[in-house]
Amino acid sequence: MTSSEVKQKIEKLRQLINKYRYQYHVLNKLEISEETLDQLKYELKKLEDEYPQFIAANSPTQRVAGKALSKFKKVTHSARMLSLEDAFSEDDMREWEDRLKKVLPSKKWHYFAELKLDGLALSLVYRDGVLVRGATRGDGAIGEDVTQNVRTMESIPLSLETYRDSSRSMISRMLQNKEVEIRGEALISKKGLINLNHTQTEKGEKPYANARNLAAGSLRQLDPKIVRDRHLEFIGYSLLASDGVTQHHEEHEVIATLGFKTDPYAKICKNLAEVFEFHAHVASIRESFPYEIDGIVVSVNESDLHARAGVVGKTPRASIAYKFAPKEAITKVNDIIIQVGRTGVLTPVAVLEPVRVGGVTVSRATLHNEDEIRRLSLKVGDTVIVGRAGDVIPDIKKVLIELRNGHERSFHMPKKCPVCDKSVSSDARGIIVRCTNKACPSLKRERIYYFVSKKAFDIDGLGPKTIDALLDQGLIQDASDLFGLLEGDLVPLERFGEKSASNLVGAIAGSRKISLPRFLIALGILHVGEETALDLAEHFGTLDRVAGASEEEILKVKNIGSIVARSIVDFFKDAHSKVFLEKLSDEGVIVGKTPKRKPGKLTGTSFVFTGELESMSRDAAKARVRELGGDPSETVSRETKYVVVGVSPGSKYAKAQKLGITVLDERAFLKLVE
Ligand code: IVH
């Protein structure tokens, strides 16, 4: 090869590698394998070693982590890196708008709303299109030069190019600018944190507490090798030297075109009402977003108005951070009470001094069982941190033992059921405590609630309050009595008129015909949830065959083990159950037959769903899986083939990642079941 051929080849390789780097680290997709990409890099490295005169500052080989520094150089920012004022409520936001109206009289504007990414601010300077400096915010005026570290971050282009189609002339102008500065957030993804913590625990070291602190700590590492291994990422949100740009949203467009990741959700809002809608939407996708977000940033979109509104202290007037309600709060445990559930399990519940967490006031936190109380070393009277992840019931994260005053008292599980005063039994490990009285009023009540619930008889307009009233008036003893109720029985009850009474009687009558799986769920057999009910129904086909099955026969049903089989046999053998089933049949309840499931393309494939799907309900998704012969399940195990993750997923998502199970997002799932 002649020297000019070598130069050309080097240039082509550089471009190719850069194209794939962009695909992989910015767009999250890759058309070739990682190994092939490594091979290309290796080839480039070999050529450059031989012809060092052709190494350019923006060559992918220049991402290698160099020597450790002894300390960072200080740098002066071209324009101060400001911070944002916080708002926590819609009222705070309205006050902000009122203040803006005063400084921008008789002006009209739009807002631009974007995610508030929870990492740390980073400034990137490109001179003649080449990355020359990366700097932290520091005190806003003077930051630290972390260029060495920034060069290892693959989501940051080493040179500015047009990575996407854009008809905008300002892009080409931008590329001709002497100096372009892009600011954004440096982050470690949630998955990245999980992976790094995995390595930490394997090494016997303490896991990192959160992605934000880890990202901040990493960027300020003197040794760039450490930074490289922590996979920091960058998402851009503002552009300096933005001649030709008249609106903030255009900065996002330009940044994306120049090859950076940007916020995919950011949008223009016409007014605060739309901003509030955006805030609520972001709160709902928060858990499923790959990075931590702690609110939204709202700015006046028109750049001239933004500038005119000016800066107060360290914050611009025309931008604000509208934060999410904190997910944790400090409060006091005033008491620990016991709840008796449908299956008779006694659950200790902490009665809290009411406190706002995650946007709602909470006064109860589940303690699960005595073991959990011991693990927390919780006493009545303790000051605690309560948390609420997603929509789940709040729980106690930590007891602040240092704040005890000596008046706290220990708690022990009762030896008798607090509702019926009969004795309780506990399982072998002493963790699950149950009321043994089949006629315990609390159990009875909970069973009826369950019987009419959505997944069982699904009787509209029959909530806990009405059931309580019916029980208290002696109008029903168990769920079968519901079918004998007349309008005249209901009318005298509080909150009932003739119309609502007739509606309810109609709804009850309309539920008389029921499918076998729903009926099995309604019976509330210990350990028989939705999936087991379906498996039983598909295996046996009719209620009589389920009820008459022996333990051995039930063990042949897929996914059913001996504890569940025993529980089913015990239920149908029990004299109370027999009477109950007979009463239901006398009241005209008709249980349908279930056909055998046909095999399909998903036969033998098990799915677990977590989080909400956007295009269909979770039940519809499960039904679709079943139609294709697949197996929806509630628990993630090594047998699980796919975990489908929607909006606000729960702990199942983390478990799937831990077990290395294939995770599908909604789109991938839809493709699979098309
Ligand atoms: S705009 C005036 N947009 O929040 C500051 N900041 O206190 C301009 N942040 O230090 C920042 N996501 O690191 C902006 N989409 C976003 C952001 C964002 C996170 C951080 C930023 C800044 C802090 C504000």
The DSSP annotation for 18-82 comes to HHHHHHHHTSS--SS-HHHHHHHHHHHHHHHHH-GGG--TT-GGGGS--PPPSSPPEEE-SS---
In this prediction, residue 157 carries a pLDDT of 95
Hey, how many other C-beta atoms are within 10 angstroms of the C-beta on 148?
19
Looking at the CA of residue 319, tell me the nearest atom of ligand 1: 2
Q: How far is 581 from 540, CA to CA, in rounded Å?
A: 18
In this prediction, residue 408 carries a pLDDT of 94
Asked whether the beta carbons of 512 and 506 are under 8 A apart, the reply is no
Is the shortest distance between the CB of 376 and ligand 1 below 6 Å? no
Q: How far is 538 from 249, CA to CA, in rounded Å?
A: 54
Q: Which helix (H) or strand (E) holds 353?
A: strand 346-357
Q: Which residue out of 81, 83, 263 has the highest number of ligand 1 atoms within 8 Å of its CB and is therefore the one to mutate?
A: 83
Nearest to 119 by CA among 57, 188, 169, 176: 188
Write the single-letter amino acid at 532. Answer: T
Q: How far is 93 from 223, CA to CA, in rounded Å?
A: 43
- Average pLDDT of 383-402? 80
Residues 6+ apart with CB under 8 A from 177: 241, 243
> What strands, in cross-sheet order, belong to the sheet with 642-645?
631-633, 606-610, 642-645, 662-664
Asked whether the beta carbons of 614 and 646 are under 8 A apart, the reply is yes
Q: In the annotation, is 116 catalytic? A: yes
Q: How far is 461 from 464, CA to CA, in rounded Å?
A: 10
pLDDT in tens, 521-578: 999 999 998 889 999 999 999 999 999 999 999 999 988 899 999 999 999 999 989 9
Residue with the smallest CA separation from ligand 1 atom 18 is: 116
Residues 6+ apart with CB under 8 A from 185: 117, 118, 119, 120, 121, 122, 234, 235, 237
Is the shortest distance between the CB of 262 and ligand 1 below 6 Å? no
Nearest to 507 by CA among 439, 442, 457: 457
Distance of CA 331 from the midpoint of ligand 1 (Å): 31
* Residues pairing with 229 in the sheet: none
**How many residues appear in the chain?**
674
pLDDT in tens, 367-385: 988 889 999 999 999 999 8
Residue 190 CA: distances (Å) to CA of 172, 213, 648: 36, 12, 14
The answer, yes or no, to whether residue 405 has pLDDT greater than 60, is yes
% the chain with pLDDT above 90: 54
Strands 606-610 and 631-633, sheet pairing: parallel
Distance of CA 83 from the midpoint of ligand 1 (Å): 6
Q: How far is 217 from 223, CA to CA, in rounded Å?
A: 12
Residue 333, Cβ density class (10 Å: 0-12 exposed, 13-18 middle, ≥19 buried): buried
Distance of CA 331 to the CA centre of its chain: 25
Residue 314: both structure tokens together = 């360290």
Strands 590-591 and 513-514, sheet pairing: parallel
Residue 474 CA: distances (Å) to CA of 284, 357, 469, 579: 43, 40, 8, 19
Q: Which helix (H) or strand (E) holds 583?
A: helix 575-586
The answer, yes or no, to whether residue 389 has pLDDT greater than 70, is no
pLDDT in tens, 79-138: 999 999 989 889 999 999 999 999 999 999 999 999 999 999 999 999 988 999 999 999
Is the shortest distance between the CB of 156 and ligand 1 below 6 Å? no
Write the single-letter amino acid at 341. Answer: G
Hey, how many other C-beta atoms are within 10 angstroms of the C-beta on 519?
22
Nearest to 539 by CA among 553, 523, 522, 552: 553
Write the single-letter amino acid at 625. Answer: V
The answer, yes or no, to whether residue 242 has pLDDT greater than 70, is no
Asked whether the beta carbons of 567 and 524 are under 8 A apart, the reply is no
- Average pLDDT of 235-246? 86
Residue 513: both structure tokens together = 């015909």
The values of phi and psi at residue 551, to 5°, are -60, -40
Distance of CA 371 from the midpoint of ligand 1 (Å): 43
Average pLDDT, the chain: 90
Residue 345: both structure tokens together = 């399990």
* Residues pairing with 239 in the sheet: 182
The answer, yes or no, to whether residue 168 has pLDDT greater than 80, is no
In this prediction, residue 565 carries a pLDDT of 96
Torsion of CA 303, 308, 314, 320, to 10 degrees: -50
- Residue 377's region, left for phi above 0, alpha for psi from -120 to 50, else beta, is left
pLDDT in tens, 57-94: 888 888 877 777 778 999 999 999 999 998 988 999 99
Nearest to 504 by CA among 446, 463, 563, 564: 463
Distance of CA 393 from the midpoint of ligand 1 (Å): 31
Within 56-210, residue ranges assigned H as helices are 90-103, 147-150, 169-176, 190-202
Distance of CA 234 from the midpoint of ligand 1 (Å): 13
The answer, yes or no, to whether residue 390 has pLDDT greater than 70, is no
Cα Rg of the chain (Å, integer):
31
Asked whether the beta carbons of 201 and 265 are under 8 A apart, the reply is no
Write the single-letter amino acid at 152. Answer: T
Looking at the CA of residue 118, tell me the nearest atom of ligand 1: 19
Hey, how many other C-beta atoms are within 10 angstroms of the C-beta on 635?
13
Hey, how many other C-beta atoms are within 10 angstroms of the C-beta on 592?
15
Nearest to 248 by CA among 304, 286, 170, 291: 304
Looking at the CA of residue 299, tell me the nearest atom of ligand 1: 1
With bands split at pLDDT 50, 70 and 90, how would you rate the model's confidence at 495?
confident
Looking at the CA of residue 84, tell me the nearest atom of ligand 1: 7
Q: How far is 1 from 16, CA to CA, in rounded Å?
A: 20
Is the shortest distance between the CB of 83 and ligand 1 below 6 Å? yes
Residue 336: both structure tokens together = 């620990």
Write the single-letter amino acid at 547. Answer: A
The values of phi and psi at residue 256, to 5°, are -65, -40
Question: pTM of the prediction?
Answer: 0.59
- Average pLDDT of 156-165? 88
Is the shortest distance between the CB of 114 and ligand 1 below 6 Å? yes
Asked whether the beta carbons of 612 and 618 are under 8 A apart, the reply is yes
Write the single-letter amino acid at 673. Answer: V
Write the single-letter amino acid at 479. Answer: A
In this prediction, residue 391 carries a pLDDT of 52
Q: How far is 428 from 149, CA to CA, in rounded Å?
A: 55
Q: Which residue out of 117, 181, 306, 322 has the highest number of ligand 1 atoms within 8 Å of its CB and is therefore the one to mutate?
A: 117
pLDDT in tens, 595-613: 887 889 999 899 999 888 8
pLDDT in tens, 612-639: 888 888 888 998 998 898 988 888 888 8
Torsion of CA 194, 197, 202, 205, to 10 degrees: -170
* Residues pairing with 399 in the sheet: 384
Residues 6+ apart with CB under 8 A from 474: none
Q: Which helix (H) or strand (E) holds 333?
A: strand 328-340
The answer, yes or no, to whether residue 499 has pLDDT greater than 60, is yes
Q: How far is 440 from 376, CA to CA, in rounded Å?
A: 30
Which of 12, 67, 107, 116 is flagged as catalytic? 116
- Average pLDDT of 180-189? 96
- Average pLDDT of 28-38? 79
